[in-house]
Structure 1
Amino acid sequence: MPSNPHHRTVEAEQYRRLYRTAAWQRLRLAQLRSQPLCERCLCDDVVEVATVVHHRIAHKGDEHLFWDPENLESVCAPHHDTLIQREEARGYTIGSDINGRPVDPAHPWNRS
C-alpha cells in the first residue's frame, strides 16, 4: 500500500498548501465567473459547466505560474480527471488536426 494515500509526490505535498488559501479560493471563483463553461468541451461544441480551475502550465510550486490568471483554464471534472491527467503524465496535449496529425509539437510524432 502506498505511504501517500492521495498518490501525491513529496514535491506536490510542499505546494498543496497554496490550494488551501483564501487567495486561491478568490482567484478560482473569479476564473469560474469569467469562464463558467468547460473550455475543453467548448472546443468540441459541447456546453458543459466548469467546476475545476486547471493550470495550463503545471506550476510545480512556481508561485508566479500558480497565481498567474493567464495560466488558468476552466474545465469540467471529467476532462480534468481523465484527459488532462493523461496529458500531464505523457508530457503533451492529446488531440489531432483534421488530417489526423497530432497538434502538439511535443508529441512524439512531431519530434525530429
Structure 2
Amino acid sequence: MPQPPWKAWYKIARWRLRRLSIFLRDLYTCRKCGLVEGDTSLLVCDHIKPHRGDAQLFWCEANLQTLCKDCHDKLKQAEEQASLHTRGVWH
C-alpha cells in the first residue's frame, strides 16, 4: 500500500525549518510536562489538532507544539486513541 503524499512533507527542508522554529518558539520546552531539552532528537514537533493530510493544518504554526518524546509517545498517543470513537475510526 503506497504512503499518503503528506508523509513526504516530514522529509523536506521546509518541515525541518518549521520544526526547529517551533522548538525555538517554545524554548525547547515540552508543553505537557515542562521538560527543557536541548537535544532536538529527543523532542517532537507535534500537531495539536491532527492534520489528516490537510496542508493548511499541517503547516500552521498555531497548530504545532513542542513535546518531549515521552509525552508524545505516551500521553499524546493515548489521547488520540481515546478519541477514535468520536472520529469514526474503529480499527
What TM-score comes out, normalization by structure 1 length? Answer: 0.64
1:52 corresponds to: 44
Answering whether residue 7 of structure 2 is matched by residue 16 of structure 1, we say yes
Could you say which residue in structure 2 is the equivalent of 1:71? 63
Asked which structure has the greater RCO (Cα within 8 Å, sep 6+), the reply is 2
Give 3-state SS (helix, strand or coil) of 1:74's partner.
strand
CA RMSD of aligned residues (A): 2.0
Instruction: Please state if 1:28 is matched with 2:19.
Output: yes
Amino acid at match of 2:56: H
Detail structure 1 runs of 4+ shifted over 6 Å in the superposition: none
C-alpha deviation, 1:28, in angstroms: 0.2
Tell me which protein shows more helix as a share of its residues. 2
Q: Quote the Cα distance in structure 1 between the aligned partners of 2:55 and 2:81.
A: 21
- Report what 1:81 is aligned to: 73
Structure 1 residue 34 displacement after superposition: 1.1
Unaligned runs of 5+ in 2: 87-91
- Cα distance, 1:48 vs structure 2: 3.3
CA separation in 2, counterparts of 1:58 and 1:72? Answer: 10
Could you say what secondary structure the match of 2:33 adopts? helix
- Whichever of the two has the greater Rg, that structure is 1
For the residue of structure 2 that corresponds to 1:40, the secondary structure is: coil
SS of 1:53's equivalent?
Answer: strand
Letter of the 1:82 counterpart = K
Identity %: 30
Q: Is the deviation greater in 79-88 or in 47-56? A: 47-56
Equivalent pair of 1:41/1:48 in contact (CA under 8 Å): no
In structure 1, runs of 5+ residues without a counterpart are 5-9, 93-105, 107-112
